Amino acid sequence: MKKVAFLLLVGILGLAGEALSQDRIFTYVYQSLVLNKGQKELEIWSTYRTGRNDYYRRIDMRMEFEVGLGKRLQTAFYLNYKGKASTHLEDTLMVMNKSNAFSFSNEWKFKISDPVANAIGSAIYGEFTVGLDLFKLEAKVILDKRIGRVTQALNLVFEPEWEWEPDKDELEVETKYEIELNYGLGVDLGKGFTLGVEARNPNVYANDGGWVHSAIYVGPTFSYSTSDFWVNFTFMPQIAGLRGISNNSNLNLDEFERYQFRLMFSYIL
């Protein structure tokens, strides 16, 4: 009898994990859940960044088509856009620089364990991005756990990037490596609403300069989901600079922004 009860409990937890496979309650932090086989999802990302030493505005847009390939595997294809405007002084003249860039990305995510049915949820994630002047790889280790109404997730991210830039009469490849530690905590408020907090620690390592940039971001996150639709929003202010601090502000405003806002919404096809 005890064995039957145990198997029944495991089955219920497993179904609960599958039921959560459509949910994503964070915008920066990833969870281990994947889409069911044959399930398709369309996601739109919008990230607005502002606040550097000089005038700076940047908008990142991503359109993602996600497909479940099996019980534990999913893939996704992205069309990416980045628009940026910034200013600098040339002698005594203020000059504004504007740029627009498009790129393509492909991600693969493999779920190892479930955040409800197992002691801890886990997944591995890989993504590559190709643009006209850059090539980028991204690898993630994803850990998460749901207990009752509380979900926690932790990501370790490694991201090498190669960008081609002109230098006088030559074309040089600039290489940098980014390492991030990201954490999210969300509380299910019922009726599809979740309120939580996300924290990020992005770090940049230059190919010839060691550990050059680091900062800490912490901000509130909000999510609303139904059976076929969800929307998430996060406000992410920089609260401390650890490397590359500038202008006595205790913030890194050369490599990172003072404020980031991200809105995501998705429709299950």
> Once rounded to an integer, what is the mean pLDDT over residues 259-265?
97
E runs forming strands in 29-90: 40-50, 56-68, 73-90
3 state SS of 21? helix
pTM of the model: 0.89
Element at 17 (helix H, strand E):
helix 2-19
Could you tell me the CATH number of the domain that includes residue 60?
A: 2.40.160.40
> Once rounded to an integer, what is the mean pLDDT over residues 219-231?
94
Q: Which of 58-62, 197-201, 244-248 has the lowest mean pLDDT?
A: 244-248
pLDDT of residue 53: 85
Element at 123 (helix H, strand E):
strand 121-131
> Once rounded to an integer, what is the mean pLDDT over residues 247-251?
84
* Domain count of the fold of the chain: 1
> Once rounded to an integer, what is the mean pLDDT over residues 209-230?
94
Give the domain range for residue 14: 2-268
Residue position matching structure tokens 């929003």: 233
